[in-house]
Amino acid sequence: MDFLLYSYYLLFSIILLTPFLLFHFKFQENRSTFGSDSNESLMPLKQKKSNTLDSLKDLRSDFHSGKISEEEFQSISIPYLNELDSIEAQLTVLKTRAIPQTLEPVKISGDWKCSNCGSLIQVPKAKFCPECGSSRMA
């Protein structure tokens, strides 16, 4: 009798836990439902840049409203500007790494010899042999 009761408890717990486990693995918090973003590694730096720019804007509005003097504005804004320069340098380094290498296009000259039939093709920008129909890239 106890064995049957335990097996029912086990089956019932599996039925209850399965939707929660499926939901957890399917919709993890750190993953987007639209797939991975190519600029995902740049997001923290972009957020930091945005925060620094907001701080500079607040500082400039304080200066224009007369809350701080020009000397205070310049002395306070220097660390923000230095931080902004370092963030920009890091972003440019990461962006240049993220650019994929592309292949150079094949240059097509006016005259070429067909590798299949051996006839000389003098049609400019011809991609196929007019005699046998084979591709120039073959």
Residue 8: inside a domain? no
Both 87 and 132 in a single domain? no
Both 88 and 121 in a single domain? no
Question: What domain range is 138 assigned to?
Answer: 109-138
Locus of tokens 């509005």: 61
Both 79 and 115 in a single domain? no
Dist. CA 62–CA 59, nearest whole Å: 5
Span 4-44, pLDDT tens digits: 888 999 999 999 999 888 888 777 666 655 656 666 778 88
For the chain, helix, strand, coil in percent to 5 are: 60, 5, 40
Which stretches of the chain drop beneath a pLDDT of 50? none
Residue 121: inside a domain? yes
Both 59 and 87 in a single domain? yes
What is the reported pLDDT for 61? 93
Residue 123: inside a domain? yes
- Count: domains in the chain: 2
Would you say 52 and 82 are in contact if contact means Cβ atoms under 8 Å apart? no
Closest CA to 52 of 21, 88, 18: 88
Both 63 and 90 in a single domain? yes
Residue 129: inside a domain? yes
Both 93 and 115 in a single domain? no
